[in-house]
Structure 1
Amino acid sequence: MRLSSWYTSRAGLAITLVASILTTSAHTASAAAPAIRISASNQVPDCVTPDRLMQFLQSRNPRLNPRFQKIAEWYKYHGESWQVRWDYAFYQMALETNFLSYRRPNGKRGDVRANQNNFAGIGTTGGGVPGNNFPDVSTGVLAQIQHLVAYSGERVTNPVAQRTRAKQHIILKGSAKVAQRRPVAFQDLSGRWAVDRKYGRSIEHLARKFRQIHCGSNSGRVANYRTRIVTPPSLTPALARPPQRIKNPANQAKRSRLQRPNPQVAAREVTVQQANQCSVDVASYGGNRTVLIKSRSNSHLKLTALDVDPRYETELSREYILTHAQGGKTIASYGTRAEALVRAHAMCDEINGQG
């Protein structure tokens, strides 16, 4: 489907890396890369943690840009939100970007630059085409995760990547035959996400290298799937889930059966505002600060009180707007949800003529 910039030249980054890692391990049998989506029988091993993934990354790239220090936590966060094998998404990123160096083995830069926050060559077609740009690390990781969801055979509502929006119907069609027989796997990305037929094997090789270093005898252990928690980077366990509206509506019922709700995080509330001109919603990332966001759909104004952790207020607000309130703006930030709702209801009452 996509001709990654790394793969359009025989001197490209990933194709050289692929040749190297497959040659050095040719004597070792390579298991096929697993299914893209998490399930009861396809889970992330206990030994895989964001800290260990970062150690693995920095062992290959000791000059890692400091702004990528939290990237493994974002893979875990978005991967668990969308039920994607986030460990393999991380290995895919390492392959695509040469461990976030964005350089070919000869030291030359590839088509994608680090400041694009594009971690999987989304939208690159070779010949210097840089592909999609994303405003921050979190959104770039989310774009890759959503692109993987599409390749798994599930339609993503309002994906953040322009490439996913433009080509999702083709991606879904290409995955349909496999999805009818079995779950689509990272192995199936070979020849599709990238033209290289050994693409899936290369991702699996990096996974095996990680396990050899960090898993040892625990490589087969997996965490309890039903108690897995989705936690934004560096937040406390109480801040356990993204807003309910962040989830893909098409698959929300399925996920709700697989993931235990966290009672400390309020579910989305729809207020009693019934007038057509204005309504108020509540969504929560679990933080103790509330951002009021306004967005429009035709002539209808929607005000959303979004709970966020103050340390990630700007980033999480931007992400919510990109995924669920496109074209929206932040009105103000409040110390409590109650304050934000008072302001939101007052605005709606005025617009609806109830003041």
Structure 2
Amino acid sequence: MAARPRIKDVAEYAGVSPKTVSNVINDYEHVSEATRTAVREAIDALGYRVNIAGRQLRRGRTGMITLAVPELDVAYFSELAKHVMAAADRRGLTVLIHQTGGVRDRELAALHGFDAQFTDGVILSPLSLLQRDLATRDTRLPVVLLGELYQAGSADHVGIDNVRAAREATEHLLARGRRRIAVLGGSLKGRQSTDRLRTKGYCEALRAARVPFESELVVSVGAFHWQDGARAVCEVLDRGLRPDALLCLNDHLALGALRALHEAGLQVPADLDVVGFDDIEAGRFSVPSLTTIAPDKAAIATSAVSLLVDRIDQPTAGDVIEHIVEHRLLVRESSGGTDRTPFSPHAGGTATS
């Protein structure tokens, strides 16, 4: 039986040092793409596999991390989970996925690592945690927070600039001559959250364009599912508000809205524009295809896993890190874009920044 290939063998095959091979395996950023490609080709050619069990045993770890998200049937979270698992796999880690339902007790259980013997750290996207939960958590368990429900300085955090993203989406609608823009899922009160920040960006864009703010056009929803978007559109139409555009604070709301508008006999974008958030796969296949804010989900996942691994390796090293990931506005047919090939794997829409 042939001997199992070692890091040294991969290094010799790729013409690099064993340290460089280790850096590629651990997904460190400061490696050139050419070197990374050469090492990965060597790994594939030799059939090298990381000895995960041995490595974790030497480090006194389980080799497992937890990803806790509100709902896996919301496409943004399932797509994000795919990227987290890929990023973790590159580090030789296994991901335990926990669905919290946005329930505080379940989020608390995730925040405290369930049973610490089964997980080395947690990536958590909370909806219901209180600020004191984050402030008083056991800092011995590494935690990286996603989303916007967090207290600055409480834990490492990865997200997008939601205020700027919503402002850019609103500016796009204003540039198209839209003036009565309704916000589905908007919020003007309460603690810091994704919907509050996105509503703030919307208000900033209106103010900058000197377009009067109309509070009745900020439409709250019970949840952020397809049916909630459809229900919100019916409410808006029943109240006679007649907006000329909808800024939907996630794509599920936007796709539900598109269906309700169709059933009401309104045409998008002839009668009104629709813009969503999150760039879920379904938005590329809707009719019309959906304009959306596209966060870099792969970058969010990679950053979150990298921050978590760094904290696992050195729990007390350095200050809390706030990492903001880029986003793009993808202009598709629902707001006048020319994307008519949503079936192409390369057709994402026209990106603006």
TM norm structure 1: 0.25
Higher gyration radius (CA): 2
Q: Which has the higher contact order (CA 8 A, sep 6+)?
A: 1
**TM-score, normalization: structure 2?**
0.25
User: Comparing both structures, which one devotes a greater share of its residues to strand?
Assistant: 2
